[in-house]
């Protein structure tokens, strides 16, 4: 299920000028992988993909959600749950749009480090 979500997320990012510059390994515990996404003159933003399971950390393709990595001194950043697209397509699309909007806000912060 998650491959479709990853593709939809990457397409939404590209439409908004972001690109996946690198895919970093996770922590083998709760993060499956991290996308590094720069855009023009904006600061680089990182998206961490959730992978904590009962006994293993799931691979990126099986992650069940993601969140924008919060910058130091900020509250928890926005997250996106990879809900079943065929049963709740409109909700998924709304969630994806809200996530990209939150990413826009995160990428335009000053100063970000």
**What are the pLDDT digits (tens) for 19-66?**
999 999 999 999 999 999 998 877 889 999 999 988 899 999 999 999
Range of the domain at 13: 2-107
Residue 112 lies in a domain: no
Residue 113 lies in a domain: no
DSSP states along the chain:
-HHHHHHHHHHHHHHTT----EEEE--SSSEEEEEEEEETTEEEEEEEEE-B-SSSBPPGGG--EEEEPPPTTSPPPPEEE---TTTSHHHHHHHHHHHHHHHHHHHT-SS--
Residue 14 lies in a domain: yes
Other CB atoms within 10 Å distance of the CB of residue 25: 10
pLDDT (mean) for 85-97 = 81
CATH number, domain containing residue 70:
3.30.310
Residue 67 lies in a domain: yes
* Amino acid 85: pLDDT: 62
Residue 12 lies in a domain: yes
pLDDT confidence of 8, banded at 50, 70, 90?
Answer: very high
* Amino acid 103: pLDDT: 87
């Amino acid at each position: 299920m998650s491959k479709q979500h990853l593709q939809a997320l990457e397409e939404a990012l590209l439409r908004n000028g972001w690109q996946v510059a690198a895919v970093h390994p996770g922590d083998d515990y709760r993060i499956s992988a991290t996308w590094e996404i720069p855009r023009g003159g904006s600061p680089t933003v990182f998206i961490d993909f959730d992978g904590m399971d009962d006994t293993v950390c799931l691979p990126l393709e099986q992650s069940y959600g993601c969140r924008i990595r919060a910058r130091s001194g900020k509250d928890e950043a926005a997250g996106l749950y990879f809900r079943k697209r065929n049963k709740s397509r409109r909700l998924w699309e709304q969630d994806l749009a809200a996530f990209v909007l939150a990413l826009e806000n995160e990428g335009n912060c000053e100063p970000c480090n």
